Structure 1
Amino acid sequence: MSKPNILFVLTSHNKLGKLDTPTGWYLSELAHPYHVLHPKANITVASPLGGEAPVDPASVEATTDDISVDFLNNRSEVWKTTQPLHTFLGKSDSFDALFYVGGHGFMFDLADSEDSRKLIQEFWENDKVVAAICHAPAAFYNVRLSDGTLMVEGKDVTAFTNAEEEQVWLSKVVPFSAEDVLQKASGGRFVKAGELFGEKVVVSGKLITAQNPASGIGVGEAIARALGV
């Protein structure tokens, strides 16, 4: 049996809004799902601009677990050789799943990207697994399907919460709230862990969302189950 193919997507954005502060994708949100899925699937990595996708330095400083440290030290080709996102439009038949990695950079280039919306719609309407972690589920809030309905309407969904954003002092820096837009688009179906930064993975059919960095292993395992590997 051949391995399934998964397209991972990273942000290309490296500056935190109007602040002169570097950002990017969050280390454990890539390292943990990659650790779970790499032995079981073929992984291709894309970003809006292609080439090297910036890792958030704050996520490197905050992460000390062995999986993330090993990934940072030994897997740099994963994020330094990404392919331009637009080149995957029309190619969902070559993949079994689409996974968006979070990080604050995501909110500035992918959360409202037209190419991203088209890609998500295409994967979803071709019955592929569609997943995201932390800020990345924000990319789903305004994806409309061919019949005009919102993809997340009536589906349970999670993402980085307002309270968590407040806790890291960035609620006034991000362009909008992932929780607010998903709560509205889903019709009030946004769910969250019982405590701040607690693990939470939500599976709603082939839609898989995870709340925060603590959910990286869990979202990888949920994707693997959905793919039957």
Structure 2
Amino acid sequence: MVTYTGDVTPGGAPDVRDAGGLRITKVAVDEKMSNNCYLLRCRTSGAQVLVDAAAEPDTLLPLIGEAGLTTVVTTHQHWDHHRALKAVVDATGAEVAAGFPDADAITEQTGVEVTRPVRQGDVVRVGEVSLEVITIAGHTPGSIALLYDDPEGHPHLFTGDSLFPGGVGNTFGDEAAFIQLIDEVETKVFQRLPDETWFYPGHGGDSTLGAERPHLAEWRARGW
């Protein structure tokens, strides 16, 4: 069996791993932006959730297949994370979940109603699997992460553009937004979750909290 790495490229094959009751399929779309999209499938029921319909419905819809989708979760309002949202929702009839403060902007930009604005602690179901919403403001006001706490292994965290290997997300020179973002990442993620937590960002490769934890003070000091 090929070991999951999380290293994917636009136009390339997806990477797949089984984590307890959840199958995680990661695919990259759009040569320029190289967004990550994550198809999450309950291994018992076959129910599926997509995290970020970022682009390329011709890539995403065959991956989703006949099993369809119950929900598309949009991690935040930035344009590069929802360009395929309308096509995917039109094809699947999935509900659309997003952080409450970003919901109106996503609807305005895409023409797709956010049917489920979510807040801290809300749960998105993937069949028999639960994903907990963690709100992480700073990159955008309504950015969210999704936590799957695998009872048979370690936690898995889908972070959007709030946390990457090597730092938190871009706050575009806004010092107050940066402080808010790194404070929330530190208190809601690093102080809560163990080192073995594997996280999956909106662009690029994955990492673990243990690999990044020693650098938190460095990130805060550099201001980005």
Range into which the TM-score falls when normalised by the shorter chain:
0.3 to 0.5
Richer in helix (by share): 1
Richer in strand (by share): 2
TM-score, structure 2 length as denominator? Answer: 0.37
Higher relative contact order (CA 8 A, sep 6+): 1
